[in-house]
Amino acid sequence: MSNNTNMAAGAAAKSNVRNMVIIAMLGAVSMILRLFDFPLWFAPSFYEIDLSEVPVMIGTFALGPAAGALIELVKNLLKLVVKGTNTAFVGDLANYLIGCALVVPAGIIYKRKKSKKNALIAMAVGTLFMTVVGCFVNAYVLLPAYGKAFGMPIDALIAMGTAVNPAIKGLGTFVILAVAPFNIIKGIVVSAVTFVLYKYVSPILKGQQM
């Protein structure tokens, strides 16, 4: 019994170490992808889209939602170490919060039943949740913090949105016409790439082949 207990403990410890290595690796890959971003035509230039959530989503599906949150954290910490911040940490906080809003709900749903259909449902729910959270956080936390960090009133930030989309007249239309579609597009792109890549990457992450 003692030998079996020791073996089980050893296997669990080995699995934990392996998972931490995978989390660190995916966080590093995600950080590199975050460096390659580009703005979208309907939003101010400080809203930039990238594929950094793809490794996070893959890791979340393979290892669970808690691992996804850790990968997201590693990504942002590594980005700060490598590149620093040009948004007084506001953009980095936003990236972490919005990223978790996407991958954690998706991971919780997928963990209950691992199938292609449920993966699509999970990512759709994650995208919707990220969009709702993104709108709320941008309106009441991030935009005010961004403005304060750079000594800009929120009206000045909204004016940057009006410059690219004249239909943006205030905070409400800014959120509806810039923040919401940005997050929806981001969620769709990340989900599509994840759906294509996951079946090839997941066996490696789970140790089924090396």
Give me the tens of pLDDT residue by residue for the chain, a chain 210 residues long: 455 555 455 555 667 888 999 999 999 999 999 888 888 899 988 888 999 999 999 999 999 999 999 999 999 999 999 988 877 788 788 889 999 999 999 999 999 999 999 999 999 999 999 999 999 988 988 888 888 877 889 999 999 999 999 999 999 999 999 999 999 999 999 999 999 999 888 888 776 543
**Single-letter amino acid, residue 3:** N
31: which residues sit within 8 A by CB, 6+ positions away?
A: 52, 74, 75, 76, 78, 79, 82
Output the CA angle 147-152-153, nearest 5 degrees: 85
Going by C-alpha positions, the residue among 176, 163, 102 that lies closest to residue 135 is: 176
Largest CA distance in the chain: 72
Going by C-alpha positions, the residue among 206, 209, 205, 208 that lies closest to residue 29 is: 205
Predicted local confidence at residue 3, as pLDDT? 57
Predicted local confidence at residue 210, as pLDDT? 39
Distance between CA atoms of 145 and 198, rounded to whole angstroms? 36
Cβ atoms of 110 and 58 closer than 8 Å: no
CA-based torsion, 167, 129, 31, 188: positive or negative: negative
Is this prediction's pTM over 0.85?
Answer: yes
Instruction: Give the torsion through C-alpha atoms of 172, 173, 176, 182, to 10 deg.
Output: -120
Going by C-alpha positions, the residue among 137, 167, 171, 177 that lies closest to residue 157 is: 171
Q: Is 42 exposed, middle or buried (0-12, 13-18, 19+ CB in 10 A)?
A: middle
Predicted local confidence at residue 15, as pLDDT? 72
